[in-house]
Amino acid sequence: MLLISCAVFANANEIDAELDIAESFMHTDTQSAIDKLNSVLSHEAELSSSQKSRLYMLISLKHLYVAEYKEADIALERALSFNPPDDILTRIYLYKVTVNIGLKDYKQAFTQLEINLARIHNYQDNSIKIATYNRLLNVYLELEAYDEMLRISRLALDLNQGKNPKNQCYSMLYYSVAHLRLKKLQQASSLFSDTEEYCAEQGFPLIAVMSVKGRAIVAYENEDYQQAETLLLTSLDGYQKFKFEVEINEIHSYLGMTYFYLGRFQQAKLFADKVNQLPIAPNNLLVKKRVNEALSLVAGKQGQFDKAYQYQVVANALSLQILNEQKVKENAYQMARFDSVEKNRETNSLMQDHELLVQQKDLFMKDKSSSIMFSTLLVGVSVGLLLLLISAWLQRNQFMKQAQRDGLTGIYNRRTGQELAENEFIEAQTINEPFSVLLMDLDLFKNINDQFGHATGDWTLKKVTSVIETIIRPNDIFTRMGGEEFAIFMPKLEQPAAEEFAERIRIELMGINTRYSGHEFTITVSCGVSTANKDDLSLDPLIQRADLALYSAKNNGRNCVVCYNELMSQPTRSFSN
Cα–Cα distances in angstroms (integers) from residue 52 to residues 17, 27, 89, 236, 368, in the given order? 14, 21, 12, 37, 67
Rg (alpha carbons) of the chain, rounded to whole number:
31
Q: What are phi and psi of 293, to 5 degrees?
A: -65, -40
CA distance 301 to 577: 44
- Give me the DSSP letters along 406-441: -TTT-SB-HHHHHHHHHHHHHHHHHTT--EEEEEEE
CB atoms within 10 A of CB 75: 24
pLDDT band at residue 6 using 50, 70 and 90 as cut-offs: very low
CA distance 80 to 56: 9
Q: What are phi and psi of 564, to 5 degrees?
A: -65, 140
Question: 542 and 491 in contact (C-beta within 8 Å)?
Answer: no
CA distance 275 to 250: 8
Give me the mean pLDDT over the 493-509 stretch: 95
Question: 436 and 531 in contact (C-beta within 8 Å)?
Answer: yes
Q: What does the pLDDT read at residue 177?
A: 93
Q: Does 333 have pLDDT greater than 50? A: yes
Q: Does 469 have pLDDT greater than 90? A: yes
Q: What does the pLDDT read at residue 5?
A: 35
Q: Read off the pLDDT of residues 406-443 as tens digits, 9 standing for 90 and up.
A: 989 999 999 999 999 999 999 898 889 999 999 999 99
Question: 533 and 565 in contact (C-beta within 8 Å)?
Answer: no
Q: Does 33 have pLDDT greater than 80? A: no
Element (H, E) at 380: helix 368-404
Mean of all residue pLDDT scores within the chain:
81
CB atoms within 10 A of CB 62: 19
pTM: 0.50
Comparing C-alpha atoms, which of 324, 293, 323 is closest to residue 310?
293
- Give me the DSSP letters along 55-67: HHHHHHHHHHHTT
Q: What does the pLDDT read at residue 367?
A: 64
CA distance 178 to 420: 33
Q: What does the pLDDT read at residue 401?
A: 57
Cα–Cα distances in angstroms (integers) from residue 272 to residues 286, 348, 357, 381, 557, in the given order? 13, 55, 69, 63, 50
The residues that bridge with 528 in the sheet, in sequence order, are 439, 562
Q: What are phi and psi of 443, to 5 degrees?
A: -75, 135
DSSP 144: T
Which is it for strands 435-442 and 477-482: parallel, antiparallel or unpaired? Answer: unpaired
Q: Read off the pLDDT of residues 51-86 as tens digits, 9 standing for 90 and up.
A: 888 888 888 877 876 668 888 889 888 888 988 887
Sheet holding 525-531, edge to edge: 477-482, 485-491, 435-442, 525-531, 561-563
Q: What does the pLDDT read at residue 340?
A: 44
Q: Does 137 have pLDDT greater than 50? A: yes
CA distance 344 to 350: 10
Question: 55 and 34 in contact (C-beta within 8 Å)?
Answer: no
Cα–Cα distances in angstroms (integers) from residue 170 to residues 22, 62, 112, 165, 419, in the given order? 20, 22, 22, 9, 41
Which amino acid, one-letter code, is at 69?
Y
Comparing C-alpha atoms, which of 356, 334, 333, 337 is closest to residue 345?
337
